[in-house]
A and B are shown apart, each in its own frame.
Chain A
Amino acid sequence: DIVMTQSPLSLPVTPGEPASISCRASQSLLHNDGHNYLDWYLQKPGKSPQLLIYMASNRASGVPDRFSGSGSGTDFTLKISRVEAEDVGVYYCIQVLQTPFSFGPGTKVDVK
């Protein structure tokens, strides 16, 4: 089974400043079709998870362009170019390459 880890697990942020979250997989998520099967979600308190990035680097519809995803193989990064107050919540990566699919433990982002 593929194990997902994230760092940091807690991230205090300052509005207007950049932020970055790392996600690492225990095995490569690069499929032979050339795509990395890794998504990023944000779950705000009391809300359903919101897809931010799919296939490692594709921004989902309606997601602000301050969010970007990068990486390949086993190491991935979600970047927020300028954090806004509404970006607080828990961020998760998930590998969807092979079953059982697996989420990272989550990174809790809050405002300093």
Chain B
Amino acid sequence: EVQLLESGGTLVQPGGSLRLSCTASGVTVGTYAFNWVRHAPGKGLEWISVIVGSAADTYYADSVKGRFTISRDISKNTVFLQMSSLRADDTAVYYCVARQGRPPPYWGQGSLVTVSP
């Protein structure tokens, strides 16, 4: 059974930093594309980043480019999202999503990040 467990979400002040983790079981981090998707209160779903391939290629949405960094630790079977220069509009539930080509993706349960003074 595949499980993705996000952790690290908390209350952080504007301008602060935070690292989210997505620990996988049942899939290997190095062989799946791992995405982060977020849902801000009252807004739609937003894809924000992916790490993919043996070379760990990374891609970002414009809204987080230069502020967020996605990475992975294959030995821990974990993907990270390092977030910096956080703003109020980064407040959201952050989901980890794993996919390998055409089969359906797997989602985690989400981790809440609140950016507030």
Residues of A near any B CB (own CB < 8 A): 33, 35, 39, 41, 43, 48-49, 51, 54-55, 58, 60-61, 90, 92, 94, 96, 99-106
Size bin of chain B's contact surface: 20 to 34
14 contacts between A and B (CB under 8 A): A43-B39, A48-B110, A51-B105, A51-B107, A54-B104, A60-B104, A92-B45, A96-B99, A100-B59, A100-B60, A100-B62, A101-B50, A103-B44, A105-B44
- Mark B58-70 against chain A: 1 for CB-CB distance below 8 A, else 0: 0111100000000
Return the chain A residue nearest B60 by Cβ.
A100
B21 interface residue per 8 A CB criterion: no
Scan residues 72-115 of chain B and give those whose CB is less than 8 A from a CB of chain A: 95, 99, 102-105, 107, 109-110
Q: Which residues of B contact A (CB under 8 A)?
A: 35, 37, 39, 44-47, 50, 59-62, 95, 99, 102-105, 107, 109-110
